[in-house]
Amino acid sequence: MVSYVSHLECAESGKKYEKGKIHTVSDLGKPILVKYDLERLSSEISRDSIENSKNPGMWRYSPLLPVEQEENRVSLGETITPLVNFPRLASCLGSNGETAFVKDESRLPTGSFKARGLSLAVSMAKELGIRHLAIPTNGNAGSALAAYASRAGIKTTVLCPDNTPEINVRETQIQGADTFLVNGLIDECGEIIANGKELLDWFAVSTLKEPYRIEGKKTMGLELAEQMGWNLPDVIFYPTGGGTGIIGMWKGFLEMKELGWIDCKLPRMVAVQSTGCAPIVKAWNEGKNFADYWENAETISSGIRVPSALGDFLILDSIKSSNGFAISVTDEETIEMQKELGEKDGLLLCPEGAATLAAYKNSLKSGLVSLNDRVVLFNTATGLKYPLPEVEASIKKEDVDYAVFKSK
Ligand SMILES: *Cc1c(COP(=O)(O)O)cnc(C)c1O
């Protein structure tokens, strides 16, 4: 037994739910969160024992995760993702390059941070004896679920909007999931899954409709603290879709604070969205606690093309509690920053990650953050999964004009 879970709780009403049972959403239809006996945990597990863990990835935080039996951990060799600086681009922004870093989540299995949440969700599904999982996805969640579920021997059905990046759909299929394209948006895929539950008895792993993906995403925050010497940056820019990452990290920060593992000021949480789909930014600007459905969502940053988030109030709460903000950037700004960072510092971000860089640049300009702020931008997936600009220049081997190389 390695877990310190005490019970689960409705994120809105606080109503308690028993551990060791299968849960979806609360009676109110809101997310259910995992609660730990932090008092017992702090008396039995020290920060040092975490640091001394032989596990080189998210499972080093097992005491703060819900999986009870070690044999139920479904792992594909998760790593600690690096914090990479970008001095050349930073200097163009007027910075000395020592305050801003990219946390590069592309190094995880299946090339995205979705691995964290789905490793956890699949591990819990295994522990709870679930035999068939289903997910609506814009791409990365589907491939991560496929990979982890196949590894656990659990059947998986994946529904993707038919404009999901092709590579995501194909990688999902080849990792063993029954994969379908749907002529609709992600929430419509979710509806199809909800409506099929009675007939197929599958379990939906939709964002925040089960309690465990968020616990996996939480490890981004735990890992960040440990790799900064149990410290945290001043500001976190996070590409926000369903919000599991921002909610999970914030939950992790509060837990670590209560455990006494950190005593620094908590970071300002910045939710970054695209102007083509910015429900959280709109709600934030209007001072609302919940977000309206975003009609005609459209952006190249498919991971944050989420018109409505079940955890909207939790996202908005973490922004507010942390004195952060929400900000949207255009796809043009995103593409521009992706290109610039590749050219200047050799880092290929996914569009969602590049959106955080564009947001950082704009926030510096408008004074929302300063050059002295220590900033972490989340690159949530590998840029290799997305369409990239075509190479137009070519030469003929029979007749090489060396002048073309000079002009490049
Ligand atoms: C899913 C996804 C996001 C959004 O994640 P949430 O934590 O659910 O808000 C951002 N970027 C990429 C690449 C994604 O796949």
pLDDT value at residue 163: 86
Our answer on whether the CB atom of 204 is closer than 6 Å to any ligand 1 atom is: no
Q: Check pocket membership of 164 for ligand 1, CB cut-off 6 A.
A: no
pLDDT (tens digit per residue) in 302-322: 999 999 999 999 999 999 999
Output the 3-class SS for the chain.
CCCCEEEEEECCCCCEECCCCCCCCCCCCCCEEEEECHHHHHHHCCHHHHHCCCCCCHHHHHHHCCCCCHHHCCCCCCCCCCEEECHHHHHHCCCCCCCEEEEEHHHCHHHECHHHHHHHHHHHHHHCCCCEEEEECCCHHHHHHHHHHHHHCCEEEEEEECCCCHHHHHHHHHCCCEEEEECCCHHHHHHHHHHCHHHHCCEECCCCCCCCHHHHHHHHHHHHHHHCCCCCCCEEEEECCCCHHHHHHHHHHHHHHHHCCCCCCCCEEEEEEECCECHHHHHHHCCCCCCCCCCCCCCCCHHHCCCCCCCHHHHHHHHHHCCCEEEEECHHHHHHHHHHHHHHHCCCECHHHHHHHHHHHHHHHHCCCCCCCCEEEEECEEHHHCCCCCCCCCCCCCCCCCHHHHHC
Confidence label for 278 from pLDDT (cuts 50, 70 and 90):
very high
Q: Is the pLDDT assigned to residue 407 strictly greater than 80?
A: no
Examine the pLDDT at 155 and tell me if it is beyond 70: yes
User: What is the 219 CA–ligand 1 centroid distance (Å)?
Assistant: 15
Mean pLDDT, the chain, integer: 96
**Is pLDDT above 80 for 260?**
yes
Over residues 284-288, mean pLDDT: 98
Instruction: Please state, for a pLDDT cut of 90, what percent of the chain lies above it.
Output: 95
Residue closest via CA to ligand 1's atom 6 equals: 243
The residue whose CA is least distant from atom 14 of ligand 1 is 303
| Domains of the chain listed by start with CATH number | 83-111+212-385 (3.40.50.1100)
**Ligand 1: does its nearest atom lie under 6 Å from the Cβ of 270?**
no
Q: 237 C-alpha to center of ligand 1: Å?
A: 12
Query: What predicted TM-score, i.e. pTM, was given to this entire model?
Result: 0.96
